[in-house]
Amino acid sequence: MDKWFERLTEQVALSHDEHAVKSTLKRLTREAGFKAYAYISIQPETQMAISDYPEEWQQRYFEKSYAFIDPVVRIAKSAMAAFSWTNSDNGKLTKERRNFYGEAAEFGIGCGLSMPITTGFGRWAMLTLASDEPSFIDQQTFNPVLAAAAVGQLHARLDLMRARPTRRSNIKMKSDELTCLRWSAEGKSMKAIAIIENTTYANVAFFIRNAKAALGATTLPQATAMAKELGLI
């Protein structure tokens, strides 16, 4: 998972609105082998969440204020460090919390990796990756420090998006194209980018060619300069 946290940090940095963040989270969640994600920000009076959990479950969760009985939330608040969990180990839970886990399982939420962080002034946030296969989570290893750093970057990005309007451009590029441009701006060759992103040289060349076309640039240095000027990378 440690490499995944690094990719999360990089891809979120290239997301310029909440829709792009959601798309990035959904794609990376599937790449990691999980079924769904949920990001939640807890404040004294309000809760904010983005997730691709089933809509019916999300609605039920907030309408019934399940955050107050959710065992994962309880563990997160007390430990404030990344942890894995499964709803099959619920023998010591109250009947109310066992029922909660049972309902979650009906929507394909059987285990997960949750990464809480404090965000100051009594507030905190958490990213959870969930699966419907309890045995899957036993195979996952992770560095809690890297997990916290990645979720911190995610939270900061979303917080900034809500604080002020994001600079917008009519130019649309795919995440792979933006990623290759960003690595190029960092001085990486196309061969190096292919190794870093675990893809082929031909794919990198293809993404960069598309990026140049989208920007109307004739050279790679011109494309990276234009992308920076437009706030795309």
Fold classification of 2-163 is Beta-Lactamase (3.30.450)
Beta-bridged to residue 111, according to DSSP, are 86, 131
Rounded Cα gap, residues 28 and 10, in angstroms: 11
Q: What is the pLDDT of residues 112-156, one digit of tens each?
A: 999 999 998 778 999 999 999 878 888 888 999 999 999 999 999
Tell me how far apart the terminal alpha carbons of the chain are, to the nearest angstrom: 25
- For 170, the token pair is 């009519």
Q: What is the pLDDT of residues 8-33, one digit of tens each?
A: 999 998 888 888 999 999 999 999 99
Q: What is the pLDDT of residues 187-212, one digit of tens each?
A: 999 999 999 989 999 999 999 999 99
Domain ranges of the chain: 2-163, 175-229
Q: Specify the amino acid at residue 41.
A: S
Is residue 133 packed enough to be buried (19+ CB in 10 Å), middle (13-18) or exposed (0-12)?
middle
Radius of gyration of the chain from Cα atoms? 20
CATH architecture of the domain covering 175-229:
Orthogonal Bundle (1.10)
Rounded Cα gap, residues 159 and 138, in angstroms: 32
pTM: 0.73
Beta strand 111-120 with 83-86: parallel, antiparallel or unpaired? antiparallel
Q: What is the pLDDT of residues 32-88, one digit of tens each?
A: 999 999 999 887 666 778 999 999 998 898 888 888 888 899 899 888 999 999 887
Q: Give the pLDDT of residue 169.
A: 57
Q: Give the pLDDT of residue 165.
A: 46
